[in-house]
Copies of this chain bind each other. A is one copy, B any other.
């Protein structure tokens, strides 16, 4: 069973567009914020992970299905379910919910890269240890 992590945040006014709903691109930012919070939970902070491993992550693939819309001041739960899907790849299932309503689901694939050269590298032991319990 893969680990699962949920981060809660409130929709900001500037993240909503004239339709009164969250502009699509901002959900991608919510996913990034959630990964940062997951890394804090697992490794102390995102920077601590980089400092210990010399490895950063970049997004390689993103897939989102929009089922509903969040509005200003809504409280959202963003859930990530990361799994090691290749030597260098971490693929996370994404769910964005407002209470019992599923607004978004999807997947995001990150690739481990050398933090300086940005060359693809295998996931470090620190990460695989958490991903394979």
Q: Name A residues whose Cβ lies closer than 8 Å to a Cβ of B.
A: 12-14, 16-20, 23-26, 28-29, 32-33, 36, 45-47, 56, 58-66, 69, 72-73, 106
Which residues from B are CB-within-8-Å of A18? Answer: 13, 16-18, 20, 72
With contacts A19-B56, A56-B19, A61-B65 known, is A13 near B28, CB below 8 A? no
Q: Which B residues touch A106, using CB under 8 A?
A: 62
**Is there an interface contact between B28 and A24, defined as CB atoms closer than 8 Å?**
yes
| A66 and B60 contact, Cβ closer than 8 Å, known pairs A25-B29, A29-B25 | yes
**Quick one: given A24-B62, A59-B66, A62-B63, are A14 and B17 in contact (CB under 8 Å)?**
yes
- In the A-B complex, list the 4 residue pairs whose CB atoms are closest, starting with the nearest: A25-B28, A25-B25, A14-B23, A18-B20
CB pair B12–A29 under 8 Å, yes or no, is yes
Determine the chain B residues whose CB is within 8 A of the CB of A73 once the complex forms: 36, 45-47
Instruction: Check if A13 sits within 8 Å of B17, measured CB to CB.
Output: yes
Given A13-B33, A62-B66, 11 further pairs, Cβ under 8 A: A12-B29, A14-B17, A14-B23, A18-B18, A25-B25, A59-B66, A61-B64, A61-B65, A62-B106, A63-B63, A63-B64
Chain B residues positioned under 8 Å from A64 (CB to CB): 61-63
